[in-house]
Amino acid sequence: MDVLVVDHPLAQSRLTAMRDAETDSGAFRAALHELTTMLVYEAARSFAVQKYPITTPVGPAEGTRMANPPLIVPVLRAGLGMADSALALLPESSMGFVGLARDEETFEPRAYMESLPGDLSGLPVLVLDPMLATGGSLLHCCKLLVDRGCTEVIVCCVLAAPEGVAALRDSGLPLRLITASIDEGLNDKKYIVPGLGDAGDRQFGGMPRF
Ligand code: PRP
Ligand code: URA
């Protein structure tokens, strides 16, 4: 599995704002929006393009457009905060949704929503979830996509734990991972350390569980 860690200073400064426990939810969401733009920008570097003729005010030129814009799939709740930034960069894309909540005892994902096209053959999919911890949630989502015929899944996440990266890699699914950091590991509640806490709660509110 191809893994890219986006270590650009602008990406790392947004990540720092998100990690800081003093950052309020408005500033956290703003940093997530900006960081997502950078992650998706890097993810899109290898997207297929189509050349086509255009005319500038001065004369003919060659234009470039996405040959096959990906389906964008945010994993609810926390991935919702990444959706707008991705769609702004890829306005031709469509969007699907997967809703997952991790059980606090078993750490297994519980699926509560799925809104995806039935046939994904020939369509790349860009999955958005800020956190890759044990990997259970993203694996669940990626399996749904591959079961529908998808052969190219690009996962953008803010933070990854080595355990989650290994789980994705060992799955053998056709994945590529773009992240801003691979952190030290997981604590006994399966939160990423040092991490940033609960990405859903930090955006939308809730009780700390770590
Ligand atoms: C978070 C996060 C991932 C998942 C990561 O969501 O957004 O989807 O946990 O954990 P994993 O890799 O161990 O599966 P959560 O289940 O807390 O739901 P939320 O987005 O509604 O807060
Ligand atoms: N989900 C989160 O939101 N944060 C973690 O650190 C792990 C799972």
Q: Does 35 sit in the ligand 1 pocket, CB within 6 Å?
A: no
**Distance (Å, rounded) from C-alpha 36 to C-alpha 18?**
12
β-bridge partners, 17: none
Which protein residues are within 6 Å of ligand 2, measured from CB? 78, 131, 133, 191-192, 195, 198-200
State yes or no: pLDDT of 207 exceeds 90.
no
78-108 pLDDT, tens digit each: 999 999 999 999 999 999 999 999 998 999 9
Nearest-CA residue for ligand 2 atom 7 is 191
**Distance (Å, rounded) from C-alpha 115 to C-alpha 73?**
9
135-170 pLDDT, tens digit each: 999 999 999 999 999 999 999 999 999 999 999 999
Q: What is the pTM of this model?
A: 0.97
Output phi, psi for 104, to 5 deg.
-75, -15
50-70 pLDDT, tens digit each: 999 999 999 999 999 999 999
Q: Does 204 sit in the ligand 1 pocket, CB within 6 Å?
A: no
Three-state SS at 208 = coil
